[in-house]
Structures are given as C-alpha cells and as structure tokens.
Amino acid sequence: MNKTNLKPLAWGLLGAGVAVMGTAGALDLPSWLHHSGTATATAPGAGGTSAAIAAAATGQQVAPTPVTPPLPALPPGTAPNYRAIVQEFGPSVVHVAVAGTHKQTPEEVQEQGGISPDDPLFRFFRGMPGAPQFQQRGGQPAEQPFKGLGSGFIIGSDGLILTNAHVVKEAKDVVVKLQDRREYVAKVLGVDAATDIAVLKIDAKNLPVVRFGQPSKLMVGDYVLAIGAPYGLDQTATSGIISAKGRSLPSESGENFVPFLQTDAAVNPGNSGGPLFDAAGNVIGINSQIYSRTGGFQGVSFAIPIDVALAIKDQIVATGHATHARLGVTIQPLTQDLAESFGLERPDGALVSTVAPNSGAAKAGLRSGDVITKVNGEPILESGQLSSRVGLARPGEKVTLEVWRDKKLETIVATLGASTDKLDVASSGTDATSGEKLGLALRPLNRDEKGEVGASGLVVESADGAAAKAGVEQGDVVLAVNGKPVASVDEVKAILAAKPKRVALLIWRDGARIFFPVNLG
C-alpha cells in the first residue's frame, strides 16, 4: 500500500486554495461551497452567526429538536435496523469546525502548486481568488490561515467529545455544532498523534451520548454504519461491512500502534472523527483514514478501534496527554522463506532485526534473529500486532514474551520503556573470499567500516546467484547468518557446511538492518 495514498479525513481550506490537510492531494470544492474572493467552508445551514450561537453566548438555553422515539436496534449477526441507529444515536454525532494558521513545508508548497516571489508568474497570480500558495522571499513558506471540517461524537453527557487528532491539529479555534444546531466553542483537552485521538470538552449538560461495543468480537463481514459530515454535509449516514481487522498503517508519529478496522462504508473528507457503529448501534470505531488516489472514497476506509480510543481518552482526561510503551526493537514481517530459515513451519510472529542498547529488550536478553510469537500469552500472527500491543501498554509494565530462538521456544520477561526514552542507536583482511553457495564475495570490515556499522561483519564485494536473487547487493554488510553473528568468511562456511536449504542473512544497509531469506535448495 502506497503511504501517500492514505488520506486523513479532515477537510481543510488553506489560504486562498483548497487542500486536504495532511494529504498529498487537493480536492475541488463543490460549486455551492465557493465564496467569491475568500476561502470559506460554510455549507448550507452551517452559518457562523446563527441565533443558536447568540443564545449560547448569552447562556440562554435552546430547546432541542424533538427526536422520534427510536426503534429497537437488532443484535449483531442479523440485518441491522439502520433507521433505529440513526434516530437513537444521530443526536450524539457532532460537526467540528476548526480555524488556525499553518506554516507549510517546502514539500507542501510544491505539491499544491506553490509559487516563489522570484518566479515571473508571481505578480500575475498574487491576490487572485483561488491562486496557488506563495512562498516568502528567501524560499521560506508563508504561514497560511486555514479552516477545516471534521466530525466527532459525544461520550459524556457533560460535554466530553471524541474526534481525531488531525482534525484539530494546529487549530486555534474549535467550534462544535450539535444535531439541533446549537454551537459551542470547544476546548481541546489533549491530543495523541500516535493513535490520532483527540478529546474535546464543551460547556453543556444533559447531552445525548453513544454506547460502546467490543471490536474484538467483530468478524469480517459484520454490518457497520458510519455517521459524520462528509464535505460539511452534517448527519450523513453510510453503511457497509467490516472488510478486515488488525490493519497496521503508518501514523504521523511514525509509530504503528493502532490495529485498524477496515470497512467499505463510504467515508470522505469531513467524516474524520465520526463514529462507526455495529449492527446493534454500539460504537466500535472512529473513522480516521481512507485509501485513495483521488482524495475521495474508493471503497477502503479505516477506523480506530474504540477500545484503543477509550484507553487514550482516559490518559488524556487524567493527565492532558498520552504515553506509549516501547520494547526497544526493530521488527520486520516474517515471510515463509524466513520462517523456514529459522526452522518455523508457519510465518507467524514478529522477527527482531535490531535490539537497541540499554532498552527493555536488551536488558531482557532479546537478540537479533529472535521471533516473538506471543505477548502475555496472546499469539502474534504478524509484526504489526506486536507494535500495537506494546505501544498501547504503559511504560514500566512487564510483558511476558514467547520467543523462537535456535529452533526452540523460550520465555523472556521484559520491562517496557517509554516511547519518549532516548535510546542509543543500534548502531582486517582485504582479500575478497567466496561465500560458497550464497554467491557472495565477502571480506571483513576494516576499522573505519566497523565504526560506521557499529558491529563486526562482512562486506559484500559482489553478489551473484542465490543471494543476489534474494536482494543482497554489492556494498551490503552481512552481520549474521541464521541468527549467528559472523566476522569472518570461515564462520560463514561453517554454517553452510550443514547444507541448509535456506538461510536468513542479517544485512546492514544504509544504517538499517534487514533480514533476507536466501533459498539454497
């Protein structure tokens, strides 16, 4: 999946142009959203000077719009009563409007057609409605005002609201509009970029709230319903099914803490932060991202499981921020070839490629080449599951790891550190000698090279045959074979003397450590 095609769903207007905040592309405005000469995100019925705002400012109460008594929601596993869900919980879904300023990066300016003052076209476009963004002289991007739209839902009758962190990112003003058109200025209690969760608070009482379900009980194929404000269209409901569970996607922080729910319910920019309901009307997720090459819905959307969101909410409410644990390892997916190289029948688990010195993993004795198969007794079927289970734990917590090492299982107990901890970066012959059946010409690292790599190993002078087919290249450094560190060609030959059908090479390349499975059969 191309990372650039993952789109956060907050809809933002930046300066005199239109852009989806945090995405690689721009969206065209529907004609009824254009306002001559200005950038505005005001949709029909969403005026900023309504009587509801005036009443809220003076403390007057506005009578809520009567709601038809709900029909009983049906349990999961049967055809859902979407009408009942919308009638009962629609009033708990809110529209979130934000405004602020954003200092664009040079990459954003270029992506959005930015023009430098030194460009001859600058004087022709400057000041024109809908013109591209402009850089300040000297190549520095200008700070641009923006307005954005998103969704959220009420989880506390006293005004506690959940939404996405990217909805309120850089916002100076946040206004929440209820289904009955009352509007409130919201306070941002805290945000967590790693999980894309934000908690808002408005000064209101006796508000309708959602109820929560259990994402762990969902099955692929179960019905779901999304409610939000796509493109500023309040209270829009769309339906679909759970398409997959446990998706690992990149986040703004670079961590993969969230096991996303994948659905085919139609969500679009503006749906961000809105609830995803199950067939019984329970919230089981928060709509967060879509996979799109156009900026709009293309059949694949992702939601944050509600249990993840509530755990983060509890931390934010208590302390104003959220903390995440860190084991201190770099992991990579376990392929079938790698699994067989390590003596595993199935490619289940997370393969440890690097252990950071002074981390909880290092102190517990984890090694490069270990395959973590369980955490606290729960199986790890793919590497992303390890990231989410560790990242959502609390720093200082002890975890019991089941590890496959040297073709047998071992149990290791590790104490997790904090994701903010500063960890050390894992960081003389000259004749080239053949690596036998690998198809590699190898030589030991010299002193300077050892300093750069931070370990002993063998430089690949040339690659051919099986190793080349596996992706090993000239200039790579072989650090280990089948989990055993190698510093001489003789050590490699000793491993190959057993005539293994497959070997796993731990390769150092451009500062990263990666396992390559090599088929020798």
271 is in an annotated binding site: yes
166 is in an annotated binding site: yes
HSE-up of residue 328 (Cα within 13 Å, Cβ side): 28
Which pLDDT band, with edges at 50, 70 and 90, does 520 fall under? confident
pLDDT at position 96 is: 95
Of 34, 22, 39, 171, nearest in space to 111 by CA = 22
From 151, 251, 272, 359, the catalytic residue: 272
CATH superfamily of this structure's domain 433-519: PDZ domain (2.30.42.10)
Active site residue 166: yes
272 is in an annotated binding site: yes
Determine phi and psi for 244, rounding to 5 degrees: -165, 165
Active site residue 119: no
pLDDT one-digit tens code per residue, 483-495: 888 888 888 888 8
Q: 502-509 and 484-485: which strand pairing?
A: unpaired
C-alpha–C-alpha distance, residues 299 and 303, integer Å:
13
Average pLDDT, the chain: 77
34 is in an annotated binding site: no
CATH superfamily of this structure's domain 325-418: PDZ domain (2.30.42.10)
From 166, 234, 251, 359, the catalytic residue: 166
H-helix or E-strand containing 106? Answer: helix 106-111
Of 172, 103, 176, nearest in space to 142 by CA = 103
CATH 2.30.42.10 maps onto the chain at 325-418, 433-519
Q: Does domain 215-319 have CATH number 2.40.10.10?
A: yes
Average pLDDT on 11-21 reads 39
Active site residue 196: yes
C-alpha–C-alpha distance, residues 326 and 390, integer Å:
6
Q: How many CB atoms neighbour CB 37 within 10 A?
A: 11
pLDDT one-digit tens code per residue, 166-209: 999 989 999 999 999 999 999 999 999 889 999 999 999 999 99
Which pLDDT band, with edges at 50, 70 and 90, does 25 fall under? very low
- Lowest model confidence (mean pLDDT) among 70-84, 96-110, 255-269: 70-84
Q: 484-485 and 236-248: which strand pairing?
A: unpaired
CATH 2.40.10.10 maps onto the chain at 7-69+89-201, 215-319
pLDDT at position 250 is: 62
Could you tell me what percent of the chain has a pLDDT over 90? Answer: 36
pLDDT of 162 over the 80 cut: yes
From 196, 222, 264, 278, the catalytic residue: 196
Q: Is 70 helix (H, G, I), strand (E, B) or coil?
A: coil
Chain centre to alpha carbon of residue 228 = 20
pLDDT at position 131 is: 46
DSSP 240: E
Q: Considering the entire predicted model, what is its pTM?
A: 0.63
CATH superfamily of this structure's domain 7-69+89-201: Trypsin-like serine proteases (2.40.10.10)
C-alpha–C-alpha distance, residues 54 and 49, integer Å:
7
